[in-house]
Amino acid sequence: MKDIIKEIIIKNVILIVLFILSYPIISDYLMNSNLPQDKASAGDVLVAISIIAVIACFGCFAFTYEKVNNKKANQRYLAHITTGLLTLIIGISLIFTSILIIFIMGHFFLVDMMLVALYLACVGYDFWDGMR
């Protein structure tokens, strides 16, 4: 049990580092696109990103460590890779969402807090499921 929690912590630290590194790249890319001036297109991209995030959230919340044999490292690592990729997709989708919403309606602190809460819920579920 302790191994899986340590691995979940390591996975989430790696993900946070990846998000910190990817935010400026995504921001620069979107800022240099035509999306800041074209709100309709920004809205269309937001819809596509939202669909990707919903699919990843479904996978994240449908997964359970309960079916993983914790004594077999390869099963644990495959589970972490799966949940890590889904969480990575969720996080990157939330970065895109945050930036696109700024283009469409301006910066609104409450939206950013909701996106952070959604991400924390995914991470919280991962820990809760690992502790069961």
pLDDT by residue (tens digit) across 24-63?
999 999 999 999 999 999 999 999 999 999 999 999 999 9
| Average confidence score pLDDT of the chain | 94
Please state the domain count of the chain.
1
Rounded Cα distance, 94 and 75, in Å: 28
**Which residue range forms the structural domain that includes residue 7?**
2-131
pLDDT of residue 55: 96
**Whole-structure pTM value:** 0.91
Distances (CA, A) of 11 to 18, 26, 110, 122: 11, 22, 27, 13
Stretch 16-20: mean pLDDT: 97
Q: Are 42 and 104 in contact (CB under 8 A)?
A: yes
pLDDT at 132: 81
Classify 36 as helix, strand or coil. Answer: coil
